């Protein structure tokens, strides 16, 4: 099985590369897509850890840059240095702001662990709602829902605020990462957290930074203004239903063996008493976290969310809440940083070589004979499923949304304002389908409670559930009310 896991990605990549490039697509772009398909296949089958797969794929792309990254016209330009340009592109993901924000989220989690604050909060949560594992799922959901309207970064909201707290809950139930015991409760809680934040990211325009970018692109491309309340009203029916069922559906599919019990809250109360009063480091961390959360919610106009995370990390080092040695030993943080940085660059390559615009334009050319509703459904399906090719919602919005808007606007009778709104409402929920689909995904994937096979299985199931709710509820609600 392991041999096939290693061979199949190679066979997929070579097989696609040997096929002739489709009409209208440059040969080098087709070969790059073959390489990208091989990387995605390897991420699914995991012959090596995800970070290693991404690094190898990126290195191969740099080595084969003359054949997969650059057109003959680019190579023929005077003074063009293909090796340097390819390396600059390959390393671009390591300077990506979202990648560093994800890294910061892991350092926040480290501080919660080192100071004991995470354990204290987790114990308090268990004491309050620990009589039922299902209730804990709804507690996680409620925290995200309360923060979502004011936090335009779901990485900061879920990865930086919620994850550091809930990562301390599984050990209280003897549920360990990368161990069969993860199914006791850890896998359930981590999945509820990521699945919930994908829904809240679609519910509020201001719950996801790419939503705001999408609104601006809609205004520029098809001259439609999308208002905050109009967005909320359109998203509300389906998103409320999904929020209601996410903990229950996760509970039913994952079947955590720990169901709860009165002895657990009692034990938590005893453990809290043993911990005593808050320490100075815990108080400092509370101040830093509160400050970061305040800036993430209200300071977006004058300070970037990633800058906030870096400032807090610096303050934690200065006041010795954590040490540099602690940071260096945080293998999960560095592994996730390298893994996601490589994927950001690889996904960017699809747009760079022209594959994404070609694909969207090709689909649009075949919609002329369809009715408005059929054409709209196809556009929405393409928008949703194309997200398998992206490691960033921002990259997806930038590369795909303007093209699909232009294609849809050219269809006679298409209500452009409603089409644009529906395309935007998909941006949050589509993040659930892959371990790299939205900012906090790698945080939960890297937790050890959602290994590759489980994540892909749950992503597929919940992707189908979210897409079904969207097409059966949101589309009719927006189009016919």
Q: Sign of the C-alpha dihedral, residues 132, 133, 137, 140?
A: positive
Q: Which of 41-50, 232-241, 244-253 shows the lowest mean pLDDT across its residues?
A: 41-50
Max Cα–Cα distance, the chain, nearest Å:
75
Task: Report, as an integer, the average pLDDT of 269-295.
Answer: 88
pLDDT category of residue 194 using cuts at 50, 70 and 90: very high
CA distance 372 to 359: 20
Q: Do the beta carbons of residue 195 and residue 250 sit within 8 Å?
A: yes
Q: What is the enclosing helix (H) or strand (E) of 142?
A: helix 133-147
Cα distance between residue 130 and residue 170, in whole Å: 12
pLDDT at 280 over 90: yes
pLDDT of residue 68: 93
Cα separation, 458 vs 442, in Å, equals 15
Q: 320: burial class by Cβ within 10 Å (0-12, 13-18, 19+)? A: exposed
pTM tops 0.85, yes or no: no
What is d(CA 336, CA 24) in angstroms, rounded to the nearest whole number?
Answer: 37
Instruction: State the average pLDDT over residues 158-181.
Output: 85
- pLDDT attached to residue 264: 65
Question: Tens of pLDDT along 329-357?
Answer: 988 788 878 887 888 888 788 888 888 78
Model confidence at 368, pLDDT cuts 50, 70, 90, reads: low
**From CA 197, how far away is CA 154, in angstroms rounded?**
7
Q: How far apart are CA 293 and CA 147, in angstroms?
A: 9
Q: What is the mean pLDDT of residues 182-206?
A: 93
Closest CA to 299 of 82, 437, 150: 150
pLDDT, greater one: 19 or 167 = 19
Contact 191, 251 (CB under 8 A): no
> What CA–CA distance (Å, rounded) separates 305 from 160?
10
- CA 271 to CA 469: how far, in whole Å? 43
Looking at residue 345, what is its pLDDT? 85
Residue 478 has a pLDDT of: 95
* Dist CA 233 CA 317 (whole Å): 44
- Better pLDDT: 435 or 149: 435
What whole-number distance in Å separates Cα of residue 234 and Cα of residue 479? 10
Q: What are the residue boundaries of the structural domains of the chain, listed by start?
A: 1-90, 97-335
CA separation for the pair 457, 454 (Å, rounded): 5
Q: How far apart are CA 52 and CA 92, in angstroms?
A: 17
Rounded mean pLDDT, 383-396: 85
pLDDT, position 221: 80
DSSP string, 341-371: HHHHHHHHHHHHTTHHHHHHHHHHHT-TTS-
């Amino acid at each position: 099985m392991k041999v096939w896991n290693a061979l199949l990605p190679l066979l997929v990549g070579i097989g696609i590369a040997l096929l002739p490039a489709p009409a209208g697509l440059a040969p080098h772009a087709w070969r790059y897509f073959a390489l990208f398909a091989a990387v995605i296949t390897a991420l699914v089958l995991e012959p090596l850890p995800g970070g290693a797969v991404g690094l190898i794929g990126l290195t191969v792309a740099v080595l084969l840059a003359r054949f997969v990254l650059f057109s003959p016209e680019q190579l023929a330009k005077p003074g063009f240095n293909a090796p340097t340009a390819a390396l600059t592109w390959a390393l671009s993901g390591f300077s990506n702001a979202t990648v560093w924000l994800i890294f910061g989220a892991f350092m926040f989690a480290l501080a919660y662990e080192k100071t004991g604050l995470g354990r204290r909060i987790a114990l308090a949560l268990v004491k309050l709602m620990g009589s039922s594992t299902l209730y804990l799922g709804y507690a996680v959901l409620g925290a995200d829902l309360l923060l979502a309207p004011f936090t335009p970064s779901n990485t900061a909201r879920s990865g930086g605020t919620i994850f550091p707290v809930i990562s301390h809950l599984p050990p209280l139930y003897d549920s360990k990462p990368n161990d069969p015991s993860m199914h006791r409760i850890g896998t359930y809680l981590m999945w509820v957290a990521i699945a919930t934040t994908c829904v809240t990211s679609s519910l509020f325009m201001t719950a996801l930074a790419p939503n705001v970018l999408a609104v601006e692109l809609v205004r520029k491309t098809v001259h439609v203004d999308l208002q905050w309340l109009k967005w909320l009203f359109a998203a509300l029916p389906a998103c409320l239903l999904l929020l209601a069922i996410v903990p229950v559906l996760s509970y039913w599919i994952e079947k955590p063996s720990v169901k709860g019990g009165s002895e657990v809250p009692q034990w938590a109360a005893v453990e809290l008493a043993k911990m005593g009063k808050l320490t100075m480091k815990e108080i400092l961390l509370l101040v830093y976290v509160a400050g970061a959360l305040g800036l993430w919610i209200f300071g977006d106009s004058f300070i970037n969310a990633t800058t906030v995370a870096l400032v807090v990390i610096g303050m934690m080092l200065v006041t010795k809440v954590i040490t540099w040695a602690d940071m260096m030993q945080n293998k999960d943080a560095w592994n996730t940083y390298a893994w996601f940085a490589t994927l950001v660059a690889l996904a960017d390559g699809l747009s760079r070589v022209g594959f994404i615009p070609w694909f969207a334009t090709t689909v649009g050319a075949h919609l002329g004979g369809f009715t408005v509703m059929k054409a709209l459904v196809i556009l929405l399906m393409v928008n949703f499923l194309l997200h398998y090719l992206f490691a960033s919602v921002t990259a997806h919005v930038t590369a795909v949304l303007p093209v699909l808007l232009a294609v849809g606007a050219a269809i006679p009778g298409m209500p452009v304002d409603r089409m644009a709104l529906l395309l935007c409402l998909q941006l949050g929920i589509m993040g659930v389908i892959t371990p790299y689909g939205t900012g906090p995904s790698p945080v939960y994937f890297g937790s050890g409670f959602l290994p590759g096979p489980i994540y892909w299985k749950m992503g597929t199931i919940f992707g189908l559930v979210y897409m079904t709710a969207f097409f059966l509820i949101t589309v009719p609600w927006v189009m016919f009310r």
